[in-house]
Structure 1
């Protein structure tokens, strides 16, 4: 894939108006680019820092066409863009990442089947369409396992744990008997992720793998870098780059993985899921790298050369969830700490309101344990 770069002064359209769109818009402005936000919500956070904002539904074909014709390229800040929305936009302009990546990441079965076809390891899984397929899958995969909707779940939503076969139907009811996937539990050593970018010329650039610590199914902290042997870190980056290449991806992608315990002298990486967008576990790059994941995504979408993903500092990124955002003043007094707030009007339980990143000299980050 090749094409003329979008020069400074050009306009990038972003589907979605949340915090990721807000940080993308800020990065674009630093590059001399304009951003046009398209979102059905009233007063979304991203609109506050964008040059243009269209409030319309994702099913509004006329509004979508006007939007596509007003920008030089379209990208998105969330992966659940309706397929018809993506189709309409792609007929009237450039959409990056493209429809193949979007369709793959939107459906957990499609995503797992893609990994399997590439020979990339995942947790055991099965497609669930009815009670019979659920019963057979539980017998095959065993317990504990987790039942997830094929589409739309995130931060623990749309999923239910099955500790014993007797709990299977209750779990199925809990997710509304939607098309689902059953995944076997994995005894992992830690959860890691790689933020990888791919440009229109096919070149890739991966940031150092990071370790992610979750609380209540929501990312709590990201440790950059993850403490991994070089061979394992290189393997994680190679897996992420391969996924991006096989999907003919353009932009930044988050690839979440499980690191299994050592077996003899070997370790094994399993891919959990991919996110075809900038990712929460890459927020640390805003402060610890010369080129953040948000600038990197805009570079890729606009056909610019990718920036070098090296970091100049170690970092710990902490999400500010709900009322934790009220700690902003205390956090602002901490040395070597950056506070990023998302401009959301109401702090609700489980809602990401901002994040704080603490920087450390390379190799000097203190040990961090789950809270």
Structure 2
């Protein structure tokens, strides 16, 4: 029996552990928070910080292979583990994804288009970069930003640039140019240890307050865009010699062309629909990939809309439980807070029209 280590104890780790159990794979969670969502369904938890050497060594001793549920795992921790056992996705993927400038340069080197950008290390550099972009752009922290955090949008004239720079912590930043787009999509793809590639259908995503609200399949894109998304994901995976599931987000221009927004070297929120609308989920696919098992069939048997339950949305649970053709998945969190992901629901096929009217 394979034992898989998972760094991170949130909902993604939880769903990975649940998928692993179906394949007779044992799971050990490394997470500093006791009784975390993932530990509730895993075989064992090592309660330690992600960079705790004793905790990492205990994880290595207990497992055959290690993966992670989020991309901000310290690269040093992944590298330490990789000296003892396979770590998938590889530490190189963490290095790329943890710094937005490094990520953009990597994507451009893969021949993929991104927003134009400037690294920002001072208020003066920000003023100069804004002038290059006509006073407009999206300023982001280079590291550790997620769900809309650590960002500021300049809509005209680069107003209050110095004050914004200080408010974001005077840390390394990136200014990205605006992209004119009609919609946002993402693709969930996987690569096995033998180089096999498989991708799920692209999903069309809607965000509210910087947090994913809904993911819908099929996405409203043409065949050329679908093929471009697939090819981009494959190029990224092959260049990184990647093993596991990855999420790649895109902007879709009015002419249908794609601009890569970012990559997530892990299972991804916009792929949760796969657990209800496909033969296998993104979580099982990731387990298969990192445990050296054959990749599964990614075909979709239903159209679907996945909606996140954020904060007090959890109190709508009785309504969702009465919806036809709807899968409810809660994350084992005991406190609803604003912006906190408490669960998700996925509605299939004929019930989609009704759900879209309620969203």
Q: Place the TM-score, normalised by the shorter chain, in its bin.
A: over 0.9
Tell me, in whole angstroms, the C-alpha distance in 2 between the residues paired with 1:16 and 1:176: 26
Tell me, in whole angstroms, the C-alpha distance in 2 between the residues paired with 1:323 and 1:125: 37
What is the total number of aligned residue pairs between the two structures? Answer: 357
Shift in Å, 1:329: 1.6
Pair 1:107-2:99 in alignment: yes
Among 335, 338, 350, the residue aligned to 1:346: 335
Among 105, 110, 114, the residue aligned to 1:118: 110
Question: TM-score, with normalisation over the residues of structure 1?
Answer: 0.94
Aligned counterpart, 1:57: 49
Shift in Å, 1:166: 2.4
What are the ranges of 5 or more consecutive residues in structure 2 without an aligned counterpart?
none
Among 172, 176, 197, the residue aligned to 1:179: 172
Tell me, in whole angstroms, the C-alpha distance in 1 between the residues paired with 2:314 and 2:339: 12
Question: TM-score, with normalisation over the residues of structure 2?
Answer: 0.97
Question: Which whole-Å deviations, capped at 9, do the CAs of 1:255-298 have from their partners, x for residues lacking one?
Answer: 00000012xxxx31000000000000000000000010000000
Tell me, in whole angstroms, the C-alpha distance in 1 between the residues paired with 2:341 and 2:211: 9
SS at match of 2:160: helix
Tell me, in whole angstroms, the C-alpha distance in 1 between the residues paired with 2:324 and 2:222: 30
Aligned counterpart, 1:154: 146
Among 213, 221, 246, the residue aligned to 1:253: 246
8 A Cα contact 1:38 1:53, kept in partner: yes
Runs of 4 or more off by more than 3 Å in structure 1?
364-371
Structure 1 vs Structure 2 CA RMSD: 1.4
Shift in Å, 1:341: 0.2
SS at match of 1:170: helix
8 A Cα contact 1:192 1:256, kept in partner: yes
Question: Which whole-Å deviations, capped at 9, do the CAs of 1:193-252 have from their partners, x for residues lacking one?
Answer: 000001011111010011000011100000011021112111111111111111111000
Pair 1:282-2:275 in alignment: no
8 A Cα contact 2:246 2:268, kept in partner: yes
Aligned counterpart, 1:3: none
Shift in Å, 1:369: 7.9
SS at match of 1:186: coil
SS at match of 2:146: coil
Question: Which whole-Å deviations, capped at 9, do the CAs of 1:173-198 have from their partners, x for residues lacking one?
Answer: 22101101001111100000000001
Pair 1:203-2:192 in alignment: no
Q: Which of 126-135 and 335-344 deviates more? A: 126-135
Tell me, in whole angstroms, the C-alpha distance in 1 between the residues paired with 2:163 and 2:179: 22
8 A Cα contact 1:69 1:93, kept in partner: no
